[in-house]
Chains A and B, each alone.
Chain A
Amino acid sequence: MKPGPFVHHAPTTVDEAVAVLGEVGHDGKVLAGGQSLIPVLSMRLATPGHLVDINGVAGLDAVHVTDTAVRIGALVRHAGLEQHDEAATALPLLRQALRNVAHPAIRNRGTTVGSIAHADPAGEMPSVLVLTDGVLEAVGPGGRREIAATDFFLGPLETTLAEDELVEAVRFTRFAPATRTAFLESSRRHGDYALAGVAVAVDVADGVVVGARAGFVSVTPVPSVLDLTPVLGGWDAGAPVPDEVTDAVREFVDPEGDIHATADYRRMLAAELTRRALATATQPTPAADPASTTAHESVA
């Protein structure tokens, strides 16, 4: 199927892009990588009259690593961020998660900020942003504002972004150096949308867990974080993950069933993936490869 007609706008500055968005209102849509938007247009699930193609806007393709955050511009492609060694060292979870985002051909074009703004609950990067307590930098006709990731997602494909605003960048907050992370998901074919996925961040002190949090993919309507510290706090990091964890995950997630997997199956997957991700994250990690805890799991 083919997209409906639209007027193509090619601004070269953020201000120009925002000006066009202000003029066309709800009839406009921002085009960055287009890897989620173009299928939606082709299936005529949306027929915006105006596309604001920001690919020609200068200065949006930079990755900045600071002491506290990894800031990425709206035109940074998934593949570019995945290959960014400084970002992977600062926040290993980025590379761990990005390896699960679709297929390489889609990561070459799709943008991380775009997938976050698209707010698909099956997207990996919205969950990662929420798990890191990240921030979105939005710009509109009234100026710039910051939106906490936890305040951004309202529902599937629904956010608090105004129709005349552009997400200029997002900031993933860095974890403490001792925090260990892992990302696992299960899909019918590696690279397809996950049936269930999970990102975990665990703090270990003297071999004992002092904090643990998990963010989920495809099994909650909006990315949200489950604090597992109450059930895992004090747990010996080398011991098997206790059943209380999987019980807590089963209770927390709210999956929907479809032709590929029932809600119950996804609930089981989310719990099992969390157990495995926690076990992976608490294993000693060779310092040479910060992303070595990454994995894609097939759960039979």
Chain B
Amino acid sequence: MSEQTTDTPPEQLLRISLRVNGVTRTASAPARRLLSDFLRHDLGLTGTHVGCEHGVCGACTVLVDGQPVRACLMFAVSAQRHEVTTIEGIGNDPENLSPVQQAFTECHALQCGFCTPGFVTTITAYLEDNPDPTPEQAREAISGNLCRCTGYQNIVSAVCRAAEIRRDRSDRTEIDQLVDLGTPDGEGGSRA
């Protein structure tokens, strides 16, 4: 362990370029800027919430290269070579919610909403890996996120409902593609 040093070095300002939600954004910030704070303060993306700041609560969870990570446990400077997806990148349009966001509204899976961005990013990535979870698996999948309103039952329901919505939407996309191909009986529409 390093101990307290008497000669504190001067603040090192860096030009940090991050690819966030498909767009490259650049800002000047100290090396010690946490990714969560960089997103919120320097880029104005306040959807990512900051809770415990030591990795316990999961409120700040964002996707880095598609995988959930704690934005409070990563420096912005370390995220430079990676693709970051925040809650804004998952869905920012009330008329066009992502499957997980839609499921949260249907199942009343948010109360105060503070923990919601972290849950939505976590669950969005989880359903990519496991598109058809059991309630028990859903419970395990959200075990790294805390909800202080204790809305867990409804959040577990929302994970399962989001999986259904994903399947429905992908079925519908497939039907639309078949219609576009002019083969309503499905012939020639195989995506094998």
Q: A residues bordering B, Cβ < 8 Å?
A: 1-8, 10, 26-29, 31, 34-35, 38-43, 45-51, 53, 55-56, 79, 102-106, 108-109, 157-158, 189-192
Contact partner of A5 among B30, B55, B126, CB < 8 A? B30
Known: A49-B2, A105-B122. 10 other contacts (CB 8 A): A6-B12, A7-B9, A40-B1, A42-B34, A42-B53, A45-B1, A47-B2, A105-B144, A108-B68, A109-B69
Task: Report yes or no: A34 in contact with B74, Cβ–Cβ below 8 A.
Answer: yes
Given A27-B2, A34-B78, A104-B68, CB of A190 within 8 Å of CB of B140: yes
14 residue pairs of the A-B complex, CB under 8 angstroms, read A2-B37, A6-B32, A38-B55, A39-B54, A40-B1, A42-B34, A42-B72, A45-B1, A105-B70, A106-B55, A106-B70, A106-B73, A109-B70, A158-B1
Task: Report yes or no: B75 in contact with A105, Cβ–Cβ below 8 A.
Answer: no
Task: Report yes or no: B2 in contact with A39, Cβ–Cβ below 8 A.
Answer: no
Distance (Å) between the CB of B135 and the closest chain A CB?
A: 15
Distance (Å) between the CB of B192 and the closest chain A CB?
A: 27
In the bound complex, residues from chain B placing their C-beta under 8 Å from that of A158 are 1
Q: Does B96 contact A (CB under 8 A)?
A: no
Q: 0/1 per residue, B44-77, Cβ < 8 Å to A?
A: 0000000001111010010010011110111101
Contact partner of B31 among A1, A51, A103, CB < 8 A? A51
Given A3-B32, A42-B53, A46-B3, CB of A31 within 8 Å of CB of B78: yes
B1-32 interface (Cβ within 8 A of A): 1-5, 7-12, 14, 30-32
Task: Report yes or no: B8 in contact with A5, Cβ–Cβ below 8 A.
Answer: yes
In the bound complex, residues from chain B placing their C-beta under 8 Å from that of A42 are 34, 53-54, 72
In the bound complex, residues from chain A placing their C-beta under 8 Å from that of B3 are 26, 46
In the bound complex, residues from chain A placing their C-beta under 8 Å from that of B53 are 1-2, 39, 42
In the bound complex, residues from chain A placing their C-beta under 8 Å from that of B170 are none
Contact partner of B1 among A1, A46, A108, A190, CB < 8 A? A46
Distance (Å) between the CB of A104 and the closest chain B CB?
A: 6
The CA of A29 and the CA of B2, in the complex, are separated in Å by 7
The CA of A143 and the CA of B3, in the complex, are separated in Å by 26
Give the residue name and chain of the B residue nearest to A157 (CB): B1
The CA of A38 and the CA of B76, in the complex, are separated in Å by 12
